[in-house]
Amino acid sequence: MIMSNKQDIIFVEKIANGDAQAENELFYRYAEEIKLMVRARLKVKVSLDDQMDIVSEILHSSLVSLRNKQYDPSSGKGLGAYIAGIAYKIIGQYFRRKDKEKKVQHSLQQESHENQKNALNHIVEKERDQKLRTYLSRLKPKHKEILLLRIYENKSIQEIADFLKLDRRRVSERIHYAFKLLIKECKKENYFSILIVFL
């Protein structure tokens, strides 16, 4: 579902007027999206602390920008897209800073699920993973193989094409289809509605 522009205008006006509840809602509404974007963008090894710093920086910058009425709803761009733009800038700044520092850091993604302090959250996360493992195990061997080669082995499309003696296009199609089947399986098992119950 895409948020309507009208709702966005009211929401932004509340933030601009210093409504604390609306500010909190901003965090809840976009925190997960921002976290995912940070994880997706930072493919290099980055610590969880740095990740949380970037997320906080993005949320803070978004809040300041909305308070200063820098978001213009009449531009046609949705609020989500506007926040994504801010996140993009902050992540870019982080990369530039890191290039100067050249620090060796740990993997973000590997730690993301392990460092859950909240016990209930941890149980929910484990439950989700378990369900996903079940759905992944139902994929056909050829789809499992291609996901392993691409994600676990980190092979390029060309390398996979050479390895499986397939056309590059067929390799891409098979990866897409594997994801499609996974989503289809999850929908069939009501995975998304189960998550809502958990949350």
Using CB under 8 A as the criterion, which residues of the chain lie in contact with another protein when the complex forms?
A: 1-4, 30, 32-33, 36-37, 39-41, 43, 77-81, 83-85, 87-88, 109-110, 112-113, 128-130, 132-134, 136-137, 139, 144, 147-148, 150-153, 157, 163, 172, 175-176, 178-180, 182-183, 186, 191-192, 195
The least distance separating another protein from the CB of residue 47, rounded to whole angstroms, comes to: 16
The least distance separating another protein from the CB of residue 144, rounded to whole angstroms, comes to: 5
The least distance separating another protein from the CB of residue 77, rounded to whole angstroms, comes to: 8
The least distance separating another protein from the CB of residue 119, rounded to whole angstroms, comes to: 20
- Rounded distance between C-alpha atoms, residue 188 and residue 134, angstroms: 13
- Please choose, from the candidates 34, 16, 125, 20, the residue with its C-alpha nearest in 3D space to the C-alpha of residue 83: 34
| Three-state DSSP string of 28-87 | HHHHHHHHHHHHHHCCCCCCHHHHHHHHHHHHHHHHHHHHCCCCCHHHCCCHHHHHHHHH
54/87 with CB nearer another protein: 87
Instruction: Supply the DSSP symbol for 154.
Output: -
Q: Name residue, tokens 């995975």.
A: 191
22/175 with CB nearer another protein: 175
- Rounded distance between C-alpha atoms, residue 5 and residue 79, angstroms: 8
Phi and psi at residue 104, to the nearest 5°: -90, 125
7/24 with CB nearer another protein: 7
40/64 with CB nearer another protein: 40
The least distance separating another protein from the CB of residue 12, rounded to whole angstroms, comes to: 13
- Rounded distance between C-alpha atoms, residue 99 and residue 63, angstroms: 27
